[in-house]
């Protein structure tokens, strides 16, 4: 069976790429199609595959500014040719799910999220306070409106949707009018493990520095709580966030996995201030035996046990978060309970479940829509 994997872009190892890594283990001979690829930013298993890119790859100036080409993504993703492939598995949070596959080819989409900026998080990315009145109303709103309509219209190109959480399954139903099967992403509970060290008193964020992550909320809450904050990650929001930060915040940039693990192990608690579709960071933190303070919405409701492995904050105000940060120190926290929770989402569980879902879909044939 000839298999193609499709991923929006390959510029770093985040949650979506960890799902792609599982797919690469399932299909070691598969070709990977992606809009843009930065060699050296992925793990060895992904990099060993044949990677086919879009014309964006040939424009060096765009490699770090590819997000500005968002209006071109539909045209670029539709240009990929899947002639001769029996199975296409798209790993999508933007446009990958909208590839056009030949008749007779099975298409399974692992959906990390319907396109956030075109649907319910438009204001977080393109609000007037971020891009100005003219760009908001005259550029981004019509462009994103067109993109949302295209995104909904092309959902029928997928034979079967797989969602990364019940929360995302609900969004797939709302925006695409499609059912989906939930398969949780993999957590490397072998690599992420507790250490025989006493944690510090500081808090930690591990995140891409993009608008919807709400990192400014954590910066303000830790300031009010009088606690230090360490931030691991890179992204277009870094300069703005650094300008908002005070002496209690340290930006560490992108770190090797071993250093990220050490940061988890040494933190008093790991913070998740955004409404996440799933959120793999809380589970990596729990695998390291550390509590999580997360917004009580979205995927965190499926991964954090309130009052046991962490705290779910009811709303997105600095006062609520500062109160939660004070409360976490009094939590009767058991590292072994956090570890046990993380193991429910192990890589082995993901590998087994995803393999079975795809096998069942292929056995049913390309004519069936799930």
Q: Does 85 fall in a domain?
A: yes
With pLDDT > 90 as the criterion, what percentage of the chain qualifies?
78
Q: Are residues 47 and 75 in the same domain?
A: yes
Buried b (16+ CB within 10 A) or exposed e, 97-116: bbbebeeebbbbbbbbbbbb
Q: Are residues 354 and 244 in the same domain?
A: no
Helix (H, G, I), strand (E, B) or coil at 114: coil
Q: Does 195 fall in a domain?
A: no
Q: What is the CATH number of the domain that holds 293?
A: 3.40.50.2000
Q: Alpha carbon 128 to chain centroid distance? A: 25
Q: Does 295 fall in a domain?
A: yes
Instruction: DSSP letter for 195, please.
Output: -
Which residue would you say has higher pLDDT here, 126 or 274?
Answer: 274
Q: Does 47 fall in a domain?
A: yes
Position 326 pLDDT exceeds 80: yes
**What is the enclosing helix (H) or strand (E) of 91?**
strand 87-92
Q: Are residues 104 and 250 in the same domain?
A: no
Q: Are residues 231 and 215 in the same domain?
A: yes
pLDDT of residue 27: 98
Using CA atoms, how far apart are residues 301 and 282, in angstroms rounded to an integer? 11
Q: Does 323 fall in a domain?
A: yes
Instruction: DSSP letter for 290, please.
Output: -
Q: What ranges in the chain are assigned the alpha helix state H?
A: 15-26, 44-47, 73-78, 122-126, 128-131, 133-134, 141-153, 166-176, 215-225, 238-244, 257-266, 281-287, 300-303, 318-328, 335-343, 347-364
Position 17 pLDDT exceeds 70: yes
Helix (H, G, I), strand (E, B) or coil at 292: strand
Which residue would you say has higher pLDDT here, 370 or 175?
Answer: 175
Which residue range is the domain that position 26 belongs to?
3-186+347-364
Q: Are residues 312 and 218 in the same domain?
A: yes
User: Which residue, among 25, 126, 72, has the nearest Cα to 355 in the 3D structure?
Assistant: 25
User: Which residue, among 37, 29, 31, has the nearest Cα to 54 in the 3D structure?
Assistant: 37
Q: Does 191 fall in a domain?
A: no
Instruction: DSSP letter for 185, please.
Output: P
Residue 41 in tokens: 């930013």
Instruction: DSSP letter for 28, please.
Output: T
* pLDDT one-digit tens code per residue, 112-148: 999 877 677 656 666 666 656 656 655 667 777 888 8
Using CA atoms, how far apart are residues 254 and 258, in angstroms rounded to an integer? 12
- Per the structure, how many domains does the chain have? 2
Phi, psi of 40 (to 5 degrees): 90, -10
Position 66 pLDDT exceeds 70: no
Q: Taking the model in full, what pTM does it have?
A: 0.85
Q: Are residues 164 and 243 in the same domain?
A: no
pLDDT-derived band at 9, boundaries 50, 70, 90: very high
pLDDT of residue 14: 85
Q: Does 180 fall in a domain?
A: yes
* pLDDT one-digit tens code per residue, 52-61: 999 999 887 6
**Mutual angle of helices 15-26 and 347-364, in 10-degree steps:** 60
Q: Are residues 167 and 211 in the same domain?
A: no
Q: Does 283 fall in a domain?
A: yes
* pLDDT one-digit tens code per residue, 70-85: 889 999 999 999 999 9
Q: Are residues 108 and 217 in the same domain?
A: no
* pLDDT one-digit tens code per residue, 167-208: 999 999 999 999 999 999 999 999 999 998 899 999 999 999
Helix (H, G, I), strand (E, B) or coil at 296: coil
Q: Are residues 256 and 330 in the same domain?
A: yes
């Amino acid at each position: 069976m000839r298999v193609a994997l499709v991923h929006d872009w390959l510029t770093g190892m985040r949650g979506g790429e960890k799902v792609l890594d599982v797919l690469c283990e399932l299909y070691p001979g598969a070709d990977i199609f992606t809009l843009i690829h930065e060699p050296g930013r992925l793990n060895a298993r992904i990099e060993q595959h044949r990677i086919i890119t879009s014309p964006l790859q040939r424009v060096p100036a765009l490699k770090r500014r590819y997000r500005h080409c968002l209006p071109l993504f539909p045209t670029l993703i539709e240009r990929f040719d899947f002639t001769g492939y029996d199975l296409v598995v798209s790993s999508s949070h933007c446009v990958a799910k909208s590839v056009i596959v030949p008749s007779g080819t099975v298409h399974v989409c692992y959906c990390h999220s319907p396109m956030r900026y075109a649907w319910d998080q438009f204001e977080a990315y393109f609000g007037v306070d971020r891009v100005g009145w003219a760009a908001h109303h005259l550029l981004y709103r019509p462009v994103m409106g067109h993109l949302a309509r295209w995104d909904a219209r092309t959902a029928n190109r997928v034979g079967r949707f797989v969602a990364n959480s019940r929360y995302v399954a609900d969004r797939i139903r709302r925006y695409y009018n499609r059912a989906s099967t939930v398969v949780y992403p993999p957590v490397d509970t072998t690599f992420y493990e507790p250490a025989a060290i006493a944690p510090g008193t500081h808090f930690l964020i591990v995140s891409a520095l993009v608008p919807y992550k709400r990192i400014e909320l954590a910066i303000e809450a830790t300031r009010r709580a009088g606690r230090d904050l360490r931030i691991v990650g890179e992204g277009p929001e870094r300069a703005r966030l650094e300008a908002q930060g005070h002496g209690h915040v340290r930006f560490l940039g992108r770190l090797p996995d071993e250093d990220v693990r050490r940061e988890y192990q040494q933190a008093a608690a790991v913070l998740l201030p955004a409404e996440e579709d799933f959120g793999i960071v809380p589970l990596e933190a729990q695998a390291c035996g550390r509590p999580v303070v997360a917004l009580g919405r979205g995927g965190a409701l499926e991964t954090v046990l309130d009052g046991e492995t962490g705290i779910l904050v009811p709303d997105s105000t600095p006062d609520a978060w500062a109160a939660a940060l004070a409360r976490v120190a009094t939590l009767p926290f058991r590292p072994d309970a956090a570890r046990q929770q993380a193991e429910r989402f192990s890589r082995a569980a993901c590998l087994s479940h995803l393999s079975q879902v795809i096998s069942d879909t292929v056995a049913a044939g390309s004519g069936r829509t799930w």
